[in-house]
Amino acid sequence: MIVQREMSANSVQFIDDPADPRVAAYRDIRERDLTGREGLFVAEGEVVIRTLLSPASLCRARSLLIAANRVEAQAPLIAAAGETPVYAASQAVMDAIAGFPLHRGLLALGEKPVERTVEDMLAGLPEDCVVLACAGIGNHDNMGGLFRNAAAFGAAAVLRDERCCDPFYRKAIRVSVGAVLRTPMFRNLSATDTVDALQAAGFTVLALTPGAARSLATVELNDRVAVVLGSEGPGLPAALIDRCTAAAIPMAGGFDSLNVATAGAIALERIRDRLGLETR
């Protein structure tokens, strides 16, 4: 049974049956995260959902699902949803819908942005900018961290090869603190084709690798720079590095290993400083 009660400009629809078809997209979200949602995704938490509803978002909210005991406190969030349907349920019903105890009590169903061609996306970027290109990043925590750093340090876009995991996985969105929802991105090219597309668009393409002879501080750059990052452990293939300008982050004591998201953050900050870019 669905009962409607007025809440600001929106109406909250209260649900008492986990099988209600209006919340079917939220059902068993832990398992369904890994199987894809045909252009949709589920996000959780107040900070992420505020980003989804903000003008900065490249995604559109389809609906919200809120724990009933949080409806009053979340009145501003509900108002920000505008005409987007908002559903509320008791904690027990929410847990039954999600398939596990959902302590945050806030979910949203969103639509992924329509992807353009890589040529169109790169042509639309500023003449002076830095982007991230990811090759074989399979860990969702690392992917979320890379998007968070991209947003924090003003990267204009993130490109992923076909071996990368989906940044719209619920945990990746959460780790990114919503940055996935507001960052231009492209996927489906091989890492080699990604590098070729970047070079054709006038980018200096840096392959970040500890074996490089030159550091980020000394490699030559133009006004458009792309930083290519590989998975932890294997790193980037030698053949891919050879197509790029290899660059290293100097470290003390012969240590040569950083978490990939940390390495990306250092690279973005140093390149932005060298290019004199403001945070965008």
CATH code of the domain covering residue 24: 3.30.1330.30
Local confidence band at 174 (pLDDT 50, 70, 90 cut-offs): very high
Q: Is the pTM of this model over 0.75?
A: yes
Query: How many structural domains compose the chain?
Result: 2
**Same domain, yes or no, for 253 and 210?**
yes
**Same domain, yes or no, for 99 and 181?**
no
**Same domain, yes or no, for 123 and 176?**
yes
Would residue 64 count as lying in a domain? yes
Local confidence band at 261 (pLDDT 50, 70, 90 cut-offs): very high
Residue 1 has pLDDT above 70, yes or no: no
Residue 4 has pLDDT above 50, yes or no: no
Would residue 280 count as lying in a domain? no
Neighbouring residues of 114: CB distance < 8 A, sequence distance ≥ 6 = none
**Same domain, yes or no, for 33 and 48?**
yes
**Same domain, yes or no, for 106 and 144?**
no
Per-residue tokens: 65: 């699902």
**Same domain, yes or no, for 64 and 48?**
yes
Local confidence band at 10 (pLDDT 50, 70, 90 cut-offs): low
N-terminal to C-terminal alpha carbon distance within the chain:
47
Strands 106-111 and 60-67: antiparallel
Distance CA 19, CA 23 (A): 8
CB 135 within 8 A of CB 231: yes
